[in-house]
Every structure is written in structure tokens, then in C-alpha cells.
Amino acid sequence: MIKRCNDFGAGGVSVAIGELADGLDINLDAVPKKYDGLDGTELAISESQERMAVVVAKDDVDAFLGLANSENLSATPVAVVTDKNRLVMTWRGKKIVDISRDFLNSNGASKHITVKAAPAVLKKQSVSGGFGENFRSLVGDLNICSKRGLAERFDSTIGAGTVLMPFGGKYQLTPAQAMVQKISVEKKHTDDCSLMAFGYNPFIAEESPYHGAYLAVVESVSKLIASGADFRDVYLTFQEYFEHPGKDGSRWGKPFSALLGAYRAQMELGIGAIGGKDSMSGTFENLDVPPTLVSFAVTTSKTNRIVSPEFKKAGHSVMWLKPEYNSDGLPDAASLIELFEKVAGLIKSGKAVSCYTPGMGGVAEAVFKMCIGNGLGFDFNDKLTVDEIFGLSYGSFILEMTDVQPDAIGTVTDRREITRGSEVLSLDALLNTYEDKLESVFHCNIKNHGDAPETVSYHTDCRVAPAVKTAKPRVLIPVFPGTNCEYDSAKAVADAGAQPEIFVINNLTADGISRSTERFAKLLEESQIVFIPGGFSGGDEPDGSGKFITAFFRNPEIKEGVSELLDRRDGLMCGICNGFQALIKLGLVPYGKIIDVDADCPTLTYNTIGRHQSRIVRTRIASDKSPWLALKKVGDIVNVPISHGEGRFLASNGLIRSLIANGQIATQYVDADGYATNDIHYNPNDSAFAIEGITSPDGRVFGKMGHSERVGSGLYKNVTGDYDLRMFEAAVRYFR
């Protein structure tokens, strides 16, 4: 139905709509506005994010508007494609733009400049100082140090397709060198995955834009190979950002040199750039950005081919494989391609179990980051000089091998230290420097409150059962503004043998809300389970999330339907993340019914760390009372992705004690030894008693923060563990 599509961004209507066809008649009065008072020019050129412009056939307009409304999306006809080859905009009945497309396509008057490119020379790098001095300095460098406190602010597991977490190993500290994500399919499953990696060194680019661009391509592609991909069907896209050149030929020479370097890399490696974005405005007063050409490399692979960079086992030998380098300091392309094939073969055969391609910090950075994920050490032998350990070596690879290698550069050890001869560096001391550098800006190692919580265990042989059995229970999944986990949830439900029903709540108009309420109440009568998925309801409103969800469920018709489901039909309910927040605000957990909550009721509030947390946590089954947990045993440990900013469970000690006594504490955050903890590395939000999930008194309503619906084969390969809570399977069995 959609013929063309463009996103709104810089340039607003003029660009987003103006690029869709040669002839356009745009009615600016029809463009939806957030604010009144904008004149025609402002409407035409103002940036407007989170909107899309689409072209549909005239006969499809009504059908498209209907589909948009069914998804709770506002859609408005604002322009018509014409055959006049002109861009026309009208505002308040007057033409304020009427420009020939031929003129627009000319990009204005021709401009000329004589480019003066500096010689492409990269000085040979030298390293001063000793092994320990350089190592301590390296891990505290802003370009090398931990960015975990920043990365964890973004949802890394949405879509239930994450093959490599941003940080791997049992301590989740080794950064992955590539994004690896399963290809998204709505209802079925696949082992196909996409990979993306970037390359760029501003110091090299500043010295020689030519070398910087060439090595950016090499680095981005090498990261794909190090992650398990083949050197096949690799494509590039470039992000370019340079100082404002004005009429200075030497300033124009920098992007010119960078493009030549990138072009040479593409031609020699036989791969092409299929997209990109550039800006020549990187100047503020007397400050200029360094010449910037960031290369992004993309390809596809299979999940069973993917390898992560953290060291796996003490005793393994570590090899350093390098291409040949030309006199200009760049890798020889034929040698590099041959090395790509060799590394891919070692990974595919299972002989190499981890791999890292050195970047700005050389071999030293690679070895350190490979160590920290699983807390393993490394012993350098005498084969490498300090210059080799800390120097640049783009296009080379550090590989952890399962067999003894005579040419190894060292050995993985079980000691938390990095050694070279008589020099011994504490891994913990290096890690503290590495993580503390940005701790004051991007927190990740704060002290949580309270004493060590009790590790709860509640056993029961008596669970509730439904009055009426159902072979294929229907699961109603409401979608509110901001919900983003409905497809993951529906797939998990269907995989367990239930029949999911995704229902989008329409709140565009009062009539839409009324019709949604009526329809939802009807679907509720036909369903056995209600599942409220996660997301950011209303964009995570001030003073807490989930308020629109709770307002909807407090509608008398819906409230009565929920009561009938739970009290008379023995149905089940569950809410995850944002859904858990809604259940808490409704009183459905821990009370089992919708009530008017007050200050004495439990709540979910902002994480003590003061930011969003996205990572893998370990949870322990604390009670087997709930039908949702019937296929797990008390004490079982289950890994689960979390992604929330308001997950801190708070309640009075008296209430929590009563929940413990009644078996309503379902799951707790636990440490590496399986004990409930307040440690920020395991309890991500500082929940009281390390509570991750609770239930209603009879266990049929279950709320939890962790995204247990984000399960599947080939996921989270660099953070090993059991991820299947089997809660959906247990819910289906409850009705059979």
C-alpha cells in the first residue's frame, strides 16, 4: 500500500514530503501541529521528529487511514502528487512556495574550489615508558575506559533478538565489538542474524585523513570477522563530519583525502558503501572537529557462528595473527583478505573460542577487555615488546585457542592479574581505574541501600486450579500508548501453546476510548489470561509509569470483567515491567483485586542509580505457589533481561514479611552464588528484599520486572545461563 516513505527530520515538511515526488501540492494548513502560532515558513522548514511521510494511491487513502487508526496512529492527508514537476506549498489559501523541480535538482548555482590535499603520511608510532605504566594509563584513557554507565541506559534486548549483549562474561564487563541481532520475524523463528560494527580513530584521522578513512574501513570489517562472520556480502555505510571548509582549499583537502582513503579501501577489499550521511559544519568559533569518517560495516551470519570476545577458560593459549603491512603503514589488502578467511575458519572449526581485533589501544586493550568479562587473568610471554603490546595493529586478531599454540603470545590464567615477566598488574586495580574514569558522569557502581536481604524459600504442594479446563487458552494482550513488547509477548505465548490476541487501545479520541473499552470488555469475556506487556506507557509519565493503563482498567466495565475473570472463572493475569507497574498501582498484586491504593500499599519507584538499567540479571525462584511458576523449583536460578528506570520495589517491612509468609515473593535478584543481594551489579534497582516479582494471595496474578518473554534459541550468547522461566508453558498447562 505504501509506495514511498520518508522520515521527518531536519528540514521538516520541505524535505520529508518534498523528496517523495517531483510534483507535489502541499497544504500546510493540514499539517498537524503541536503548537499554535506557527507561520507558513515555520511549518515548511521546522524539524519534526517521530513522524513519517508516506505516499499511497488515491484509492487507498481511506483504507490506510483505517489501518492507522486501528494501530492508534494519527494519519492526515497533507499533500497530493501532481504531474506538474513543481513543489507547491499553500498556507491560508496562498501559495508561499512554487519552485521548479528542475531548479531544485540543480542544487543551486555551481561552485568550484581548488582542493589542496596534504601528503598522506602517517608517522611511525613509538611507545615510551614501561609495561605497567602504559597499562595503567591505557585503561584510564577516555577513549578506552568503560562506557557501561552510558550504554546501559538503552534497551539492548527489545525485540527478543539480541545475540550478543553489549557487555559479556559472567560479570558483564567485556564489550562486544559488533552488534549482533536476529533478523526480526513476527511469528516464526530464525537463526539468521545481522551484524554491524564501526571503525574510527580520530588521532590517526587528524594526522592523515587518508589513513584514518582506510583504517576505519579495515577496523569495521575486522570487527565483523572477530565476531564470527565470513568475509562475504559485507557492505559499508559512512558517517562523515568535517570542519566548515569555507573557501579554504586546504580545509577542503581533508574530506577529499578521507574519501580517497575510503575509496581505496573499498576497491582493494572489493566491498562497497551503500549509504551514508555527511556534514561540513563541524566548526564553532575557533574550534574544529577532527576529520571524521566513521565506517560502519554490515553483514549477515548464523547465530551458531557467532563468537564473543571474553576469555572463556584458564589454560588456553592466545595467538596474535597479523596481516602484512605496506610501506605506507596500511595493511596489504590481499594479505588481509587471506587473514579474514583464516580467522573465520578457526572460529568456525571451534578451535578459536574468543576473538578480538585490536583498536586504538592495541593488543593491551584487547587482552584487558577479554580478561574482565569472566574475571580471568593473562600471562604475556617474552615474544612481544612494549611497542608491540601498546602499538597500533589494525586488521590483526587476538584469538583464544583451545589447543596449545607454539606461537602463542601468552596464556589465559585463573589469577586476577595481568603479568609479563616479573611485572604483575592487579586486574581489580586496573578494572577500578577503567570503570571509575566516568563513574561521576555515567554511574554504574553506586552503593545500594540496606543490609543483605533474606533469601526467601516457600514450598507448597497445594496450588489453585481452574474450574473449567481449556486446551488452548486465549491470552488477551492489551497495547497502550508506549507499549513496545506486545509482539515478543505474543510469540512467547504462541510458542507455549496458547492463542494470543493483541488488542490496541485507541485513545486518539473520546469515541476511540469508548469503543476500545467496549471491545476489550467483550474480549475479556472470551479470554482465560490477560497479559500486560512492557514498554513506556505514555512515555513514562511524571510521578510514575502506567497511569493510563490503570485508568483504563479502573473503568467499571473493565474492572468488573477482571473480577469475573479472576474470581469466578479462575483466570490468570500477568504484567511485566510496565505491566507490573500497572498491576501494583491497581492493587492486583499483592491483593488479587482492583482496589484504591494508598500510602500503605507497595510501589515501584525510580531506580536508586537514577537512570535506566538494561542488562541481564540473575533471579531465584523464591516460591512455587503461583501457577505461573509451576514448572520451576524453589532455588532455581533463571537469567532474565531487564530494561527499566522505575523498578525499585518498596513496601513496609511488615507487609513484606506477610508476603513472605504467604508465599507471595515469587522471585528475587541474586548474586553469583545464588543469594539475595543489594549489590548494584545484581540488584539493578535496589529493590527491598531484592524483590523482582510478586503474586496475588493465590498466585494467579503475577507481576515481575524482568522480561521473561524475551527468550529464544541463540540469544545472549556472551552471558550464559538458563533464561527460560517456562512461565507461559506453565500457564497453558494450568488450564489443561
- Which amino acids are annotated catalytic? 577, 707, 709
Give, as one character, the DSSP assignment of residue 568. Answer: I
**Which of 160-174, 275-289, 692-706 has the lowest average pLDDT?**
275-289
Whether 639 and 494 map to the same domain: the answer is: yes
Whether 429 and 499 map to the same domain: the answer is: no
Whether 432 and 499 map to the same domain: the answer is: no
Q: Which of 365, 357, 356, 354 is nearest to 313 (CA)?
A: 354
- What's the total number of domains in the chain? 3
Q: Is 171 a domain residue?
A: no
How many C-beta atoms lie closer than 10 Å to residue 105's C-beta?
9
pLDDT of 403 higher than 70: yes
Q: Is 243 a domain residue?
A: yes
Exposure of 419 in the CB half-sphere (CA atoms within 13 A):
14
How many C-beta atoms lie closer than 10 Å to residue 644's C-beta?
27
One-letter amino acid for residue 35 of the chain: Y
In terms of phi and psi (left: phi > 0; alpha: psi -120 to 50; beta: otherwise), the region of 540 is left
Confidence of residue 538 (pLDDT cuts 50, 70, 90): low
pLDDT of 401 higher than 70: yes
Which residues is 353 bridged to in the sheet? none
List pLDDT tens digits, range 40-52: 999 999 887 789 9
Residues 6+ apart with CB under 8 A from 556: none
pLDDT confidence of residue 543: 53
Whether 135 and 100 map to the same domain: the answer is: no
Per DSSP, the three-state class of 82 is: coil
pLDDT of 592 higher than 80: yes
List pLDDT tens digits, range 628-649: 999 999 999 999 999 999 999 9
Domain closes at, from 436, 453, 487: 436
Residues 6+ apart with CB under 8 A from 513: 505, 506, 507
Whether 248 and 321 map to the same domain: the answer is: yes
Q: Is 615 a domain residue?
A: yes
Q: Is 655 a domain residue?
A: yes
Q: Is 162 a domain residue?
A: no
Q: Is 465 a domain residue?
A: no
Domain closes at, from 436, 460, 489: 436
Q: Which of 103, 98, 77 is nearest to 87 (CA)?
A: 98
List pLDDT tens digits, range 215-231: 999 999 999 999 999 99
pLDDT confidence of residue 133: 97
Whether 320 and 388 map to the same domain: the answer is: yes
Backbone angles phi, psi at 316, to 5 degrees: -70, 145
Residues 6+ apart with CB under 8 A from 700: 464, 566, 570, 571, 572, 573, 592, 626, 627
Whether the CB-CB separation of 144 and 604 falls below 8 Å is answered with no
> Is the C-alpha dihedral spanning 680, 486, 76, 80 positive or negative?
positive
Domain closes at, from 410, 436, 462: 436
Q: Is the peptide bond before 245 cis (omega within 30 degrees of 0)?
A: no
Q: Which of 55, 51, 35 is nearest to 43 (CA)?
A: 35
Distance in angstroms (rounded) separating the CA atoms of residues 225 and 223: 5
CATH of the domain at 6: 3.90.650.10
Provide the whole-model pTM.
Answer: 0.96
List pLDDT tens digits, range 330-369: 999 999 999 999 999 999 999 999 999 999 999 999 999 9
List pLDDT tens digits, range 155-208: 999 999 999 999 999 999 999 999 999 999 999 999 999 999 999 999 999 999
CATH of the domain at 354: 3.30.1330.10
List pLDDT tens digits, range 437-486: 999 999 999 998 777 899 999 999 888 999 889 999 999 999 999 999 99
pLDDT confidence of residue 125: 83
One-letter amino acid for residue 106 of the chain: S
CATH of the domain at 595: 3.40.50.880
Q: Is 694 a domain residue?
A: yes
How many C-beta atoms lie closer than 10 Å to residue 650's C-beta?
15
Whether 252 and 397 map to the same domain: the answer is: yes
State how far the alpha carbon of 731 is from the alpha carbons of 470, 572, 699, 701, 727, in Å: 11, 8, 11, 11, 6
Whether 321 and 409 map to the same domain: the answer is: yes
pLDDT of 36 higher than 90: no
pLDDT confidence of residue 541: 54
Whether 530 and 621 map to the same domain: the answer is: yes
Whether 507 and 397 map to the same domain: the answer is: no
Per the model's pLDDT, the better-predicted residue between 650 and 275 turns out to be 650
Q: Is 110 a domain residue?
A: no
Whether 387 and 490 map to the same domain: the answer is: no
Per DSSP, the three-state class of 607 is: coil
Q: Which domain does 354 fall in, by range?
A: 131-145+176-436
Distance in angstroms (rounded) separating the CA atoms of residues 539 and 518: 25
Whether 422 and 547 map to the same domain: the answer is: no
Mean pLDDT in residue range 401-425: 96
Backbone angles phi, psi at 415, to 5 degrees: -95, 135
